[in-house]
Amino acid sequence: MKHARGRILPPMIAFVGFIATWQLIVWIGNYPPFILPGPFVVADRFVTGWLEGIFWSHLLTTISEIAVGFTVGAAAALPTGYVLARSRLADRVMSPYLVAAQAVPILALAPLIALWFGTGLLSRSIIVALVVFFPVAISVMIAIRGIDRRLLEMARSYRVTRRQRITLVEIPAALPGIVGGLRIGITLAVVGAIVAEWTGGEQGLGVLINLARGSLFDIPLLFATLTVIALLGIALYGSVLLVERQVAART
Amino acid sequence: MSDAPPPAPAVSGATPLEAPVPPDAATFAAPDACAIRLAGLQFAFPVDGQTVPVLGGIDLEVERRSVIALVGPNGCGKSTLLRVIAGLLPSAGGIVEVEGRPVSGPDARVGLVFQEPRLLPWRSAVANVAFPLEVAGLDRTAREARARDLLGLVGLRDWAGARPGELSGGMRQRLAIARALALEPSVLLLDEPFSALDALTRERFNVELLRLWERIGSTIVLVTHSIPEAVFLADRVIVLSPRPATVAADIVVELPRPRRMADLDAVILSRTAAEIRARLGGATDDAFAVATGEVGRHDEPDAVVA
């Protein structure tokens, strides 16, 4: 009991402190709700928003974009990172393009992709996949390169095939680094989806932000939407941690 | 001197672990072939486009079921020699044969124990020992059963589920030995396997290693920096010269088997150790001695008997 209280208490205190500071700033500055609504105003709008059914369809749209984009981006990044780590030629040929693509802000790229592929699930998933790809590929590359060469020599002395080397030694040895990349990737996927939704379209939490700020001019709704996005990020991050634990227990 | 065969090790018990020769080797190897035959064996490392000779023509024949210790100055190529015999490094000339057949690439007839245990930290003890069996394609139940037998052989039966991080340094090295025995190699190569252990544990492990050898009957080649250890364990002690390594001396240890802890104080042991020290003195890595060509010569015509 005491142990459980010790684990829950510090984050509770931090949360209460955060809410109190927020409310204090609103009181001291005497800001109107359309500039900075207080936490209780936002909480109220959050609840009424759910009751009115505003969030559901937007949230589902954003989740499906993240699901498709993250899966495709990470799935492409895993083998790419491996090849970059193991082939010096691939590293020399591909790395400049990867870095250049990463240096171009996704905010600048998103309208172009919307121009080519429309404003539907396809173009939004492509943007999410692009955002996820780079950090995952780089962390896979670093993790594979960091594997103890002595373990690989040990495996070679038992005549492992290339496939066995990858599945029995390299992937389990690199797993912590790979999962670290996936954790970064999933949080960036949320950012990518919101940015993609700003380029247009009817549905999505990013669209809802634009609506709340623009035609609806409902700033508490904007803050409530930000809360939904933050909770979504935490939930997705948590599910990556869960998958990580499952995989670690199996190997 | 070296053509005197060592006494056959006492075989005790009747576990399946006591048939160390793989079936294919038993079928195709000439019955009188020695366990290992090296002739004019050379090896060179490429460094900045040039090659640095490491092994300068090694001639050595190792009888079956004998224990050979390799001693020599630091960096003379002892570990390299083990890797060439294990097929992890390609020779640059000369002959490497195990059981009468040439070695080309990593070889199931040879088990190599590295200086560090090199265990897979995410695997349990039993799964680490089963690793070579998994690679060889055995099904789960077969490799599990065999791995547990091997754990018992090295005294780790009760630690099957432990991760390497939960074991002591000595236990980890025993685990590495069990893993090296998984494919029943006819030759076991040990690269300073106990160098990380304290002196008392090391003595105990040497006795354990001899008991293990008496049970499995493999040929053992051991690299060590300890002369008493070499003499206590080995039938022959091979002294290597500084790089490029050649056989500087080949000394037979006339200590009867089975050997026990008390034999560590035997007179013959210290006399043999003194002889090896004298030969090692000749095989110095002193730069002056190398420059004046004082090293690498065979002091005795019968030092190496082909």
Q: Which residue type, as a one-letter code, is found at position A53?
A: G
Closest CA to B62 of B276, B234, B260: B234
Containing structural domain, residue B172: 117-184
Q: What is the DSSP letter of B242?
A: S
Residues B238 and B179 in one domain: no
Residues A8 and A123 in one domain: no
Residues B176 and B192 in one domain: no
Question: Is the CB of residue B247 less than 8 Å from the CB of residue B239?
Answer: yes
Model pLDDT, residue B297: 40
Residues A6 and A74 in one domain: no
Taking the Cβ of residue A144 and every Cβ of chain B, the question of whether any pair is shorter than 8 Å is answered with: no
CB-CB: which of A158, A160, A172 is closest to B122? A172
* Alpha-carbon B206 to chain mean position: 13
Question: Which pair of tokens denotes residue A248?
Answer: 């670690």
Residues B219 and B299 in one domain: yes
For chain A, the domain total comes to: 2
- What is A183-250 written as a DSSP string? HHHHHHHHHHHHHHHHTS-S-SHHHHHHHHHTTS--HHHHHHHHHHHHHHHHHHHHHHHHHHHHHHHH
d(CA B134, CA B153): 19
- What is A117-168 written as a DSSP string? H-SSHHHHHHHHHHHHHHHHHHHHHHHHHTS-HHHHHHHHHTT--HHHIIII
Taking the Cβ of residue A160 and every Cβ of chain B, the question of whether any pair is shorter than 8 Å is answered with: yes
Rounded to a whole number of angstroms, the distance from the CA of B135 to the nearest CA of chain A is 6
Give the CATH number for residue B65. Answer: 3.40.50.300
d(CA B213, CA A136): 49
Model pLDDT, residue B249: 86
Give the CATH number for residue A64. Answer: 1.10.3720.10
Give the bridge partners for B95, in sequence order.
Answer: B39
Contacts A248 to B, Cβ<8 Å: 122
ipTM confidence: 0.79
d(CA B240, CA B219): 20
Question: Is the CB of residue B88 less than 8 Å from the CB of residue A160?
Answer: no
d(CA A123, CA A72): 13
Residues B282 and B193 in one domain: yes
Q: What is the DSSP letter of B29?
A: S
CB-CB: which of B108, B114, B116 is closest to A159? B108
Q: What is the DSSP letter of A11?
A: H
Model pLDDT, residue B2: 43
Residues B249-304 pLDDT 10s: 898 888 888 888 778 787 888 888 888 888 887 655 554 544 444 444 433 333 33
Give percent helix, percent strand, percent coil of chain A, each to the nearest 5.
85, 0, 15
Model pLDDT, residue B8: 45
Residues B91 and B191 in one domain: yes
Residues A2 and A72 in one domain: no
Contacts B122 to A, Cβ<8 Å: 172-173, 175, 248, 251
Residues A45 and A121 in one domain: yes
Does the distance separating the beta carbons of A157 and B112 come in below 8 Å?
yes
Residues A75 and A22 in one domain: no
Model pLDDT, residue B295: 42
Containing structural domain, residue A23: 1-30
Closest CA to B241 of B67, B2, B51, B57: B57
Instruction: From B152, B184, B216, give the residue that closes a domain.
Output: B184
Residues A23 and A43 in one domain: no
Q: What is the mean pLDDT of each run of 10 residues along chain B (306 residues)?
A: 44 44 48 82 86 89 93 86 93 89 90 94 95 95 94 92 92 94 93 86 88 90 90 92 87 85 80 85 53 42 34
Rounded to a whole number of angstroms, the distance from the CA of A209 to the nearest CA of chain B is 46
Residues A3 and A127 in one domain: no
CB-CB: which of B114, B122, B135 is closest to A158? B135
For chain B, the domain total comes to: 2
Residues A197-206 pLDDT 10s: 998 888 999 9
Beta strands in chain B (DSSP E): 36-47, 50-62, 67-71, 95-98, 101-102, 110-113, 187-191, 219-223, 236-240, 247-252
**Angle of helix A55-86 versus helix A171-198 axis, rounded to 10:** 140
Taking the Cβ of residue A155 and every Cβ of chain B, the question of whether any pair is shorter than 8 Å is answered with: yes
Residues B150 and B209 in one domain: no
Taking the Cβ of residue A167 and every Cβ of chain B, the question of whether any pair is shorter than 8 Å is answered with: no
Residues B72 and B211 in one domain: yes
Residues A56 and A78 in one domain: yes
d(CA A13, CA A18): 9
d(CA A149, CA B88): 13
Residues A24 and A65 in one domain: no
Residues B229 and B96 in one domain: yes
Average pLDDT over every residue of A207-223: 92
Model pLDDT, residue B280: 83
Residues A66-123 pLDDT 10s: 999 999 999 999 999 999 999 999 999 998 988 888 888 888 889 999 999 988 899 9
Task: Give residue for tokens 């948590």.
Answer: A238
Taking the Cβ of residue A246 and every Cβ of chain B, the question of whether any pair is shorter than 8 Å is answered with: no
Residues B36 and B169 in one domain: no
Residues A239 and A170 in one domain: yes
Taking the Cβ of residue A162 and every Cβ of chain B, the question of whether any pair is shorter than 8 Å is answered with: no
∠ CA A87-A93-A94, rounded to 5°: 85
d(CA B195, CA B206): 11
Model pLDDT, residue B122: 92
Give the bridge partners for B69, in sequence order.
Answer: B222, B237
Instruction: From B127, B154, B184, give the residue that closes a domain.
Output: B184
Question: Which pair of tokens denotes residue B60?
Answer: 């050595």
Task: Give residue for tokens 């380029």.
Answer: A199
d(CA B282, CA B76): 14
Question: Is the CB of residue B268 less than 8 Å from the CB of residue B274?
Answer: no
Q: What is the pTM of this model?
A: 0.79
Residues B155 and B273 in one domain: no
* Interface size, chain A vs chain B, as Cβ–Cβ contacts under 8 Å: 42
Beta strand pairing call for B219-223 and B236-240: unpaired
- What is B245-296 written as a DSSP string? B-EEEEEE----SS--GGGGG-HHHHHHHHHHHHHHHHT---HHHHHTT-SS
Residues B214 and B144 in one domain: no
Residues B175 and B205 in one domain: no
Give the bridge partners for B187, in sequence order.
Answer: B110, B219
Sign of the Cα pseudo-torsion (A236, A238, A242, A245, in order): positive
Closest CA to A206 of A90, A36, A62, A79: A62
Taking the Cβ of residue A172 and every Cβ of chain B, the question of whether any pair is shorter than 8 Å is answered with: yes
Residues A19 and A44 in one domain: no
Residues A5 and A91 in one domain: no
